[in-house]
């Protein structure tokens, strides 16, 4: 939609992102309190490619014949990531399970020169 020197538009579509997770667990069963001499530690690093969606709003202003300025907001949602990390403690195997929503907002400002 255009209005005088302004141009407004919406964007949307598919998103693809690489998500990396680093996890370190320590002080598990018998690793704290009265048994503080027993230190239990486990770590994991993993990455995955997630597909999701993106939507945003944009505005662009024509400043002069050759210059324009723009602002853009994008919301990216790559869905939920769930994983687990089993650890061997002094009183058996334990498993940490976590889940998180991987979404973020991105704001951009720009200045363009138009070759005419």
pTM of the model as a whole: 0.68
pLDDT in tens, 41-93: 667 788 889 999 999 999 999 999 999 999 999 999 999 988 877 766 556 66
Per-residue confidence (pLDDT) for residue 89, from 0 to 100: 57
Domain residue ranges in the chain: 2-113
Instruction: Give the chain's length.
Output: 116
Per-residue confidence (pLDDT) for residue 12, from 0 to 100: 96
- What percentage of the chain reaches a pLDDT higher than 70? 76
Provide the token pair at 93. Answer: 């195997």
Cβ neighbourhood burial of 78 (10 Å; 0-12, 13-18, 19+): buried
What are the residues whose beta carbons fall under 8 Å from the beta carbon of 97, sequence distance 6 or more? Answer: 82, 83, 84
Q: How many helices (H) and strands (E) does the chain have?
A: 0, 5
């Amino acid at each position: 939609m255009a209005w005088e020197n302004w141009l407004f538009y919406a964007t949307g579509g598919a998103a693809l992102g690489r998500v990396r997770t680093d996890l370190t667990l320590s002080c598990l069963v018998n690793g704290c309190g009265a048994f503080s001499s027993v230190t239990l530690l486990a770590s994991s690093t993993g990455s995955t490619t997630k597909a999701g969606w993106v939507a945003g709003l944009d505005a662009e202003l024509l400043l002069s014949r050759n210059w324009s300025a723009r602002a853009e907001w994008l919301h990216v949602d790559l869905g939920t990531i769930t994983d687990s990390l089993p650890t061997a403690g002094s009183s058996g195997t334990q498993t940490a399970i976590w889940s998180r929503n991987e979404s973020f907002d991105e704001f951009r400002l720009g200045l363009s020169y138009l070759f005419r």
